Chain A
Amino acid sequence: MTENEIKNLEEIFEARIARDEKIEPKDWMPEKYRKSNIRQISQHAHSEVVGMLPEGNWITRAPSLRRKVALLAKVQDEAGHGLYLYSAAETLGISREEMYEQLHSGKAKYSSIFNYPAVTWADMGTIGWLVDGAAIINQVALCSTSFGPYARAMVRICKEESFHQRQGYEILLTLCRGTQEQKAMAQDALNRWWWPSLMMFGPIDAESPNTEQSMKWKLKRKTNDELRQQFIDQTVPQAEILGITIPDPDLKWNEEKKQYDFGEIDWDEFWQVVKGHGPCNKERMDARVSAWEEGNWVRDAAMAYAEKQHDKKLKDVG
C-alpha cells in the first residue's frame, strides 16, 4: 500500500470513529489501534482469570451452602468473562496461548487489585461491593467502546457484574446486621480494600500514559479521575447504609462541586504493586503458571484425541 492509500484509510477510519460507528475485526484499522485493543482486552481477560484466585480461595470455606453456591457461580462467571474476552482479542489476530504467555512472562498486566490477599469472609463481600463496583464503572463506560466485539462482550459482562456487586453488598449487609464480631470483620475488610479499590481506576489523568490516545479512539470514554470520582460519590452513601466507616479522614462532601473531596492516594503503593511487588503478585502468577504447566499434558491429550477421531472419520468416509 502506498503512503497515500494508508493516509486515506486512516482518514476513513477516524471519520468512522467520529460518527460512533463500531469497528469490526475485518475492517481496516491502524496498527496502533489494533495493538491498543489487544493490550486492553487481554489485560481485562487476564484480570478476570487472575481474579478467580482470591475468591476461589474461599469456596471450600464459605460459611453456608447458599453462600458457597453463590460464590462458585460468581467465580464461574469470571471464567466465562475471561473466555469471551480472550475470544474478542483473538479476532484481532492473537492466540489465547500467546496472551497467556504474555501474562506468565509478566509482559501483560492484569488488575493490581487481585494482588491483595482475601483473608476473611468479609473480603468476599467487600470484593463484590467495591472491586466489582469499581469494575462496573470502568466497564459501563466500555459498553460503548469503538471496537465491536469488545463492546458487545462488555454489555453481557456488565449485567453479570452488577449482580455480583449486589451479592457482595448483601454479604456485607448481613455481616453489618449481625454480631459485633461480624461487623468488625466488615469494617476491617473495608479498611483494607478501600484504597486499593480507588487505585483500580489507574494513575491520575496527568500521569496516565495511554489515556489521551484511548479517549481519541473512543476505546475509553471517560478519564481515570472522572471514573474514580463517580465511584466515590456512589459508594459513600452505601457505606453509610452499612454503618461502617470509610478509612479516609479527608473524605468530605463538597457542596460547591456536588461531589466528595477525598484524601491523597498512596501512589508509591500503587506503583509498587503494578511493578510486581504487591502482597500476592508472586502467588497469583505462580498459581496461574502452575495451572498452565500442570495442564499441559491434558491439553496435549485432548488435541491428540481430537486428531485421532478426525483421522478415523476420514478413514471411515474414505
Chain B
Amino acid sequence: MNNNNLYNYILGIADNTLILGQRLGELCGHGPALETDIALTNIALDLFGQTRNYFQYAALLVGDGKAEDDVAYMRTERNYFNVLLVEQPNTHFGYVMGRQFLFDVYHLLLLEGLQNSSDITLAAIADKGIKEVTYHKRFSGDWMKRLGDGTAESRQKMQEAIDDLWRYTDELFQLTKADKAMIYEGIGVDVSNFKEAYYQEVSEILNEATITVPENKYFTSGGKKGIHTEHMGYILADLQYMQRTYPNMKW
C-alpha cells in the first residue's frame, strides 16, 4: 500500500462510527420507549452507513481485491483505532445518551473540517455525514436537557454518566502519527484546534441541562493507538464471530 498514513487516518475516523454503531446495535428492542429505540436505530444506521463509505475507500487503498468487510472485521484488537469513549458500555440510558452527546459534538466539528479536505472522497463522505450528525447532536443534546433537568433521579443518573465518561473526552483531540501526516498534506483535520470550541459547546449544553461540568483534570486515552479498555475484546468477539468462525465465505 503506498499510502499507509491515509489508510490509518481513515480507520481512526471510521472505527469510531463502527464501534459506536455496535454499541447502539446492542440496544434495539431494549430501550425505554419504542420512539427512542427507533431514533437510536436511525443513528446506528447513519453511523454504519458512514462506516461503509470509509471502509470501501480504505479497501480500495489496500487493493488486492479487499473489500469493506475485510477492513471492518479482520483486524486484531490492537489494530482498531477508535477512541475509548465510543466503546464504553450501555450501563444505563444516561450513559448511552452521555456517550452519544460527548461524541456527537466532536463528530460534527470533525466533519465540518473534513468537508474541506483536499481528498475529495473524504470531503464527500463528510459532506453527507454532516446532515446526519447535525441531527444526532440535536437529539442527544435534547436528551441531556430532558434527563438533566427532568427529575431528581434523572439528574443524578445523568450527572453520574457525564462524570464517568468525561475522562475519555481529552483523547478526542490527541493527534496520531497518521493525523499529523494527513494534516500536513491538507487531507486531515487538526482536531486539536477545536478542543476549546468543543468544551465550550459541551459546557453550554450541560449548564442548560443543569448538569455540573466535571472539573476532573485526569484523562484516559489509548484507543487511538490501539490500546483499548477491557470492553473492546467483547465487542470484537461479537462483531467478528461469523467472519472468524466461517472464514472466506460470502454472506
Contact = CB atoms under 8 A, between A and B. Distances in A.
A169 interface: no
Given A49-B29, A182-B249, A301 B239 contact: no
A67 B45 CA distance: 12
B32 A305 contact: no
B225 interface: no
B48 A291 contact: no
B204 to A, nearest CB: 18
Nearest to A81: B34
B89 to A, nearest CB: 13
Size class of B's contact patch? 35 or more
B26 A59 contact: yes
A301 B150 contact: yes
A83 B35 contact: yes
Contacts of B69: 64-65
Interface in A150-183: 171, 174-175, 178-179, 181-182
A291 B30 contact: yes
B151 A295 contact: no
A145 B75 CA distance: 52
Given A60-B239, A300-B150, A179 B249 contact: yes
Interface string A52-70: 1100100111111111110
Interface string B225-251: 000000000010011011100100111
B60 interface: no
B104 to A, nearest CB: 18
Nearest to A171: B251
Nearest to A59: B25
B195 interface: no
Given A62-B242, A79-B37, A121-B251, A299 B32 contact: yes
Q: Which applies to chain A's interface (DSSP): helix, strand, loop or mixed? A: helix
Contacts of A69: 45, 48-49, 52
B35 A308 contact: no
Interface residues of A, number: 49
Nearest to A296: B32
Contacts of A18: none
Interface of B: 22, 25-26, 28-38, 41-42, 44-45, 48-49, 51-52, 55, 68-69, 72-73, 92-93, 145-147, 149-151, 153-154, 157, 235, 238-239, 241-243, 246, 249-251
22 contacts: A49-B29, A52-B29, A60-B26, A63-B242, A63-B246, A63-B251, A65-B69, A68-B25, A72-B41, A72-B45, A72-B48, A76-B45, A82-B34, A83-B34, A178-B250, A291-B30, A292-B32, A297-B93, A297-B157, A298-B33, A298-B36, A304-B154
Interface of A: 49, 52-53, 56, 59-69, 72-73, 75-76, 79-80, 82-83, 86, 121, 171, 174-175, 178-179, 181-182, 287, 290-292, 294-305, 308
